[in-house]
Chain A
Amino acid sequence: MSSLPSRRARRVLAAATAGALSLAVLAGCASSSSGETASGDGVTPITLQTSWIPLVQFGGSYVADKEGYYEKNGVDVDILPGGPDVDPMAAVVAGQADIGMGNADTVARANEQGADLVIIAAGFQKNPLAILSSPDKPIATPADMAGMKIGVPSGDEAAQEALLAANDVDASKVTSVPVGFDVAPLVSGEVDGLWVFYSEQPIAYEEATGKAGTVFLTADYGLDIYAQVYAVTRESLEDDTKRAAIEGFLKGEIEGWQDYVADPTEAVELTVNDYAKDGGLTIEEQTKQAQLQMDLLVTDETKENGLLTMSSDAIAKNVATLDTLGISGVDDSLFDTSVLDEVYAGSNTIK
């Protein structure tokens, strides 16, 4: 064995190691400087775990953050991006976040497994889960699902069963096909209908095929489940400091969404150019999404009571639906309207 190459090898390796180590040191510096957000005078830090990667779906929160609505109410909110593998409920239970966004059923299921979470406000009054189909073979109501192939993402099987049951459709006549989170199976004709997010995939479908798909909201057919709800631990509501911070957060949050509903332009621009600036989004597509989202945010009830509110009537319907989904131990104690009551203080807008 010649010694020259091995010596050269060792020298290069040593240099590489030194270089890599200095990189590691740099990494250490970088992470220490970008760590904890400093809490200023009288401003409480609080963390919001969103349920998906940054999109205009969370536009109201971005407006509240940028316009200083949170700060005005004494909180410094750290908005954490979500993703397919993020469980906001677990993040709240584990203490990584103070407030988690999710659907009423995910909160109820977490409680079924031993968490003690409570929903303090509901962003989407209507669940965005919708059935998308081709206009050439439209599925306009649950009854049309009979005899069709429906793409169901893992985890939504119970929702499909509940939808069919609520509308007296024979489940044995519907073929479920497991899918991921893209519309390709519908575009390629592999399935006739697809469970989608009302304000997202229908846009993609129209872009891809050049024609608007047929869409119906499951919320209009008996699946009354609040979505994009704000969940906290029951414990945190009993702690005065934490409760004050949660109230401050919710006040700022509602103000942000009020701006959004009045004119979503700022929310769209903040999303595309700031909060999701590396996500490759476009103003055009996010504007469409923002408009569709209005159908979920604004209802007759919110016009009367204010955005993000939860009426006792709707809570009762939610409890009933959660029960048909097979989640045990759900009653109206899952929802706590006291924070909303204090924040709105009898009005239906925040000024």
Chain B
Amino acid sequence: MSTGSGTGAPAPVTADAAGRAAADRAATAIATERARSRRDSRRGALNGWVVTALVSVALLVLWEIAAELWLTRLGVLASPTAIVQSLVADWPVYLNAFSATAWVAVRGWFFGNLAAVVVAVLFVQLPALESLFLRLALTLFCLPLVAVNPLLQLTFDPDTAKVVLAALSVFFTTLVGTMLGLRSADGGPLTMVTAWGGRSLSALRFVRFPSGIPAILTGLQIGAAAAVLGAIFGEFIGAKAGLGVLLINGLMSLELGRVWSVAVIATVMAAVPYGVFGLLRRWLTPWSASISTAQTAPPAARGPLAARLLKTLAWTVGSLLVILAAWWAYLIVFDMSPFVGKSPLDVFAYLFTSDDAAANRAVMLKALGETLVHAGVGYVAGLVIGIAAAVAFVTFPVVERVLTPLAVALRSVPIIVLIPVLILALGRGLGGVVAITAIVTFFPTLANTQSGLRRVPSDAFTLMRSYDASIWSNLWRLQLPYTLPSIFASARIAAPTAVLAATLAEWLATGDGLGHEIVASRAHSDYTGLWAAAAILTAVSLIFYGLVSWAERAVLAKYSPTQLG
């Protein structure tokens, strides 16, 4: 806190005039500095917008030229003019497809978010529920879509299956974000409610819910892209109309104008709610800085080590049992045909007790090794690029303005459209897979790191300035340490996503790993193999997530203990 403004301690009549003069000078200096920085930022903003517009136009022209000369001929990328032509010429087709997909996405988004908020409230009110069921929610998040899609198709009618898929796509991020929001309630008001005799429900209503609103809105904001992608992917299980149908037809007939128009529409469908809910959040809850969607790790439990380990073990075993029970319950409740629905026992037999168990295990282990390499390298690359981009965005606002739409687009374009471009650029080897995985992990990292960097208190900057610190010194000594919790939180969320992206790349680009195993087992009606691969993949994602949480706690305990509360 700056104490130079002189509003603090009442000065005695015989005050030291020099001291007061110094204080006044300081106050004036601060005021001038503020005014200058406001003016600078206004002028900077204007210049920034001009630069942004120029750079954007240049990028579009570059895209047009590259597409015309080279990329369209290779069958991977349409030019902006081709996209506009296709959109104008066939607008009724796009309108119908848009409404079909949007209707699924909106319902999926609504029910997924509603379920997430309800579950988040239950978890916060009853922590035991959280300890038992959070891993189940995480499991739903980790399930490979390539495996889930055919199962949903056989469980529900086609329309419901698509809505369920879109809802599943948004559920986990909103759940985690809402829990974080509800927990971020100030201790002061909470104590006050308790002191006035309020129960935990009143605390929820008067304190937790209002302070959770920004996080909930962030969930709604980010969920839009996920819901659109879920709805499009849902159309792969059979549809007459929709963007997914146009996409399949466009890819089959290599109509690049069509494929990329769908990509543009999907991006707009994700970007508009992203912007609208962002504005809504700022308007409704101006007191909140932008909030990271990711939950920070729960504080380390206190008490003797052995007791703590025992407790952790008990909850882990408990939640594993819950996951297995949910698996079984799904088969029973939906009366899955045993041809398709395999129980944990079937998978166990497939891997350990059947005649072919050794061979099956060998196949799965080899595939697992490949997937781990793909996911691991892509994950690290995505994190590094995401953090670097966030730093560049915060340090150079022009970069942010030019590249943010591109970053949002990368998140909202169905990855299947991008894969041909990436393969062309980087090949089908590790490069291509890593790029595909990195793109998926990059966006959440960027968003979270960026909001973390912004929350660094300005006083700390003032202090650094008084030491004449350079940009880099600021970054290294101040901003990054402050941002560690956000970086870790997004690293945790990105871990299962990286595994999922790697499997998608394996299906479409490399033809190995668990992603390929899943598609091949499905093509061969080997549903036990499919469940086994999906179970292994999910387990790996859970472990991956657990390891990152562990690292998070270890690092934060050392470098930024206050963040652990």
State the A residues within 8 Å of B (CB).
1-2, 5-6, 8-10, 12-13, 20, 23-24, 27, 31, 35, 53-54, 80-87, 89-91, 93-96, 106, 109-110, 112-115, 152, 154-157, 176-185, 187-190, 200-201, 203-205, 207-208, 275-281, 285
7 residue pairs, one from A and one from B, having the closest CB atoms: A178-B511, A155-B523, A278-B241, A187-B75, A94-B337, A188-B74, A184-B75
Segment 139-175 of B: residues with Cβ below 8 Å from A:
146, 149-150, 153-154, 157-160
> Could you tell me if B238 and A281 are in contact, using CB atoms closer than 8 angstroms?
no
Cross-chain contact B419 with A113 (CB below 8 angstroms): no
Cross-chain pairs A/B with CB under 8 angstroms, 17 sampled: A5-B287, A12-B284, A53-B245, A80-B158, A83-B239, A86-B236, A87-B150, A87-B153, A90-B525, A90-B527, A112-B525, A113-B524, A115-B525, A179-B508, A180-B251, A278-B100, A280-B93
CB pair A207–B285 under 8 Å, yes or no, is no
Q: Select the stretch in B104-112, B385-393, B478-486 that faces chain A.
A: B104-112
Residues of B within 8 A of A157 (CB): 520
Which A-chain residue is minimally distant from B90 (CB atoms)? Answer: A280
A207 to B528, CA, bound (A): 41
A-binding segment of B31-39, B420-428, B487-495: B420-428
Flag if A85 contacts B239 (CB, 8 Å): no
Contacts of B510 in A (CB 8 A): 178
- CB <8 Å contact, B424 and A190: yes
Residues of A within 8 A of B93 (CB): 278, 280
Contact with A along B221-263 (1 / 0, CB 8 A): 0000000000000011111111011101111111100100000
Which listed residue, B90, B111, B210, B416, touches A1 by the CB 8 Å rule? Answer: B210
With contact pairs A9-B213, A180-B419, A180-B508 given, residues A85 and B237 touching in the complex (Cβ less than 8 Å) = yes
B457 within 8 A of A: no
Once the chains are docked, how many angstroms separate the CA of A153 from the CA of B431? 20
* Contact of B180 with A by CB under 8 A: no
- In the complex, the chain A residue whose C-beta lies closest to that of B148 is A85
Given A1-B210, A113-B339, answer yes or no on A285-B253 (Cβ-Cβ < 8 Å): yes
- The docked-state distance in angstroms from the alpha carbon of A177 to that of B423 is 12
Q: Is the CB of A85 within 8 A of B424?
A: no
- Neighbouring B residues of A81 by C-beta, 8 Å: 158, 238-240
Given contacts A5-B286, A24-B110, A90-B150, contact A54 B240 (CB under 8 A): yes
Most-contacted residue by chain A among B75, B150, B338 (CB, 10 A): B75
Set of chain A residues within 8 Å of B271, measured between Cβ atoms: none
Whether the Cβ atoms of B516 and A154 lie closer than 8 Å is: yes
Please report the C-alpha to C-alpha distance between residue A96 and residue B153 in the assembled complex, in whole angstroms: 9
Give the chain B neighbours of A276 by CB distance below 8 A. Answer: 240
Give the chain B neighbours of A2 by CB distance below 8 A.
287
Which residues of the partner chain B approach A6 to less than 8 Å between Cβ atoms?
210, 213, 285
Task: Across the interface, name the chain A residue whose C-beta is closest to B339.
Answer: A93
Contact B284 A205 (CB under 8 A): no
Interface residue ranges of B489-523 to A (CB < 8 Å): 507-512, 516, 519-520, 522-523
Question: Is B424 within 8 A of A188, CB to CB?
Answer: yes
Contact across chains for B249 and A281 when beta carbons are under 8 A apart: yes
B284 touches A9 (CB 8 A): yes
Is B97 an interface residue, CB under 8 A from the partner?
yes
- Expressed in whole angstroms, the Cα–Cα distance for A12 and B277 within the complex equals 12
**A121 and B339 alpha carbons, distance in the complex (Å):** 23
Complex: how many Å from CA A149 to CA B362?
28
Q: In the complex, A80 Cα to B153 Cα: how many Å?
A: 12
With A187-B75, A204-B253, A204-B255 already in contact, 13 other A-B pairs whose C-beta atoms are closer than 8 Å: A2-B287, A6-B213, A12-B284, A85-B237, A87-B525, A90-B337, A91-B153, A106-B525, A154-B519, A183-B254, A190-B428, A207-B255, A280-B258
Instruction: Please determine whether A87 and B238 come into contact, CB atoms closer than 8 angstroms.
Output: no
Do residues B237 and A83 form an inter-chain contact, with CB atoms below 8 A? yes
B111 to chain A, nearest CB (A): 7
State in angstroms the CA–CA spacing of A177 and B508 once bound together.
10
CB-CB nearest in chain B for A19: B110
Q: Does B58 interact with chain A (Cβ within 8 Å)? A: no
**Smallest CB–CB gap between B314 and chain A, Å?**
38
A275 touches B240 (CB 8 A): yes
Q: How does the 8 Å CB contact mask read for B311-354 relative to A, with 1 for contact and 0 for none?
A: 00000000000000000000000001111100000000000000
Cα–Cα, bound, A207→B153 (Å): 34
Chain B contacts of A177 at CB under 8 A? Answer: 428, 511
Which B residues are CB-close (under 8 A) to A190?
Answer: 423-424, 428
Q: Known contacts being A115-B339, A278-B97, A278-B241, is A205 close to B254, with CB within 8 Å? A: yes
Given contacts A85-B237, A278-B241, contact A113 B527 (CB under 8 A): yes
Return the chain B residue nearest A88 by Cβ: B238
Are A279 and B245 in contact, with the CB atoms below 8 A? yes
Closest chain B CB from A101 CB (angstroms): 12
| A53 with B238: CB separation less than 8 A | yes
> Which of these, B160, B420, B509, contacts A182 with CB under 8 Å?
B420
Q: Which of B74, B100, B160, B524 has the most CB of A within 10 A?
A: B524
Please name all residues of chain A whose beta carbon is closer than 8 Å to the beta carbon of B248 when the two chains form the complex.
53, 83-84, 181
B189 within 8 A of A: yes
Contacts of B24 in A (CB 8 A): none
Q: Hey, which chain B residues are within 8 Å of A82, CB to CB? A: 238
Closest A residue to B106 using CB positions: A23
Given contacts A87-B525, A280-B97, contact A1 B189 (CB under 8 A): yes
A residues in contact with B159, CB < 8 Å: 31
Contacting B336 at CB < 8 Å: which of A94, A178, A185?
A: A94
Contact assessment for A86 and B150 in the assembled complex, using a CB-CB cutoff below 8 Å: yes
Pick from B153, B210, B424: contact of A86, CB below 8 A: B153
Q: Is B28 part of the contact surface with A, judged by Cβ < 8 Å?
A: no
Whether A113 lies near B526 (C-beta < 8 A) is yes
**Residue numbers in A under 8 Å from B258 (CB-CB):** 280
Q: What are the residues of chain A within 8 A of B238 when measuring CB–CB? A: 53, 80-83, 85-86
Which residues of chain B are near A280, meaning CB under 8 Å?
90, 93, 97, 245-246, 249-250, 258
Given A154-B507, A180-B416, A200-B253, A90:B210 Cβ within 8 A = no
B96 in the interface, Cβ–Cβ < 8 Å? yes
Are A183 and B75 touching (Cβ within 8 A)?
yes
| CB pair B150 A155 closer than 8 Å | no
Measured CA separation A40–B509 after assembly (Å):
49
CB distance from A191 to the nearest CB of B (A): 10
Q: A87-B150, A113-B526 are in contact. Are A184 and B76 (CB under 8 A)?
A: yes
Q: A3: nearest residue on chain B (CB-CB)?
A: B210
A5 touches B285 (CB 8 A): yes
Nearest chain-B residue to A20 (Cβ)?
A: B110
Q: Is the CB of B254 within 8 A of A279?
A: no
Most buried by A among B186, B258, B339: B339
CB of B288 to closest CB in A, whole Å: 10
Cβ-defined contact, A85 with B524, below 8 A: no
Determine the residue in chain B with the shortest Cβ distance to A102: B525
Check A27 against B524 for contact (C-beta < 8 Å). Answer: no
Contacts of B251 in A (CB 8 A): 180-182
Most B C-beta atoms less than 10 A away, residue of A85, A180, A189, A205: A85
Chain B residues in 8 Å Cβ range of A152: 511
Task: Give complex CA distance A204, B280 in Å.
Answer: 45
Instruction: Specify the chain B residue showing the minimal Cβ separation from A49.
Output: B238
Q: Say whether, besides A113-B526, A188-B76, A280-B258, A178 and B284 are in contact (CB < 8 Å).
A: no
Contact A83 B525 (CB under 8 A): no
Q: Which among B154, B209, B336, B419 has the highest number of chain A CB atoms within 10 Å?
A: B154
The answer to whether B254 and A208 touch across the interface, beta carbons within 8 angstroms, is yes
Nearest chain-B residue to A1 (Cβ)? Answer: B287
With contacts A94-B339, A182-B252 taken as known, whether A85 is within 8 angstroms of B110 at the C-beta atoms is no
Could you say which residues of chain B place their CB within 8 Å of the CB of A24? 107, 110-111
Contact residues in B for A204 (Cβ distance below 8 Å): 252-255
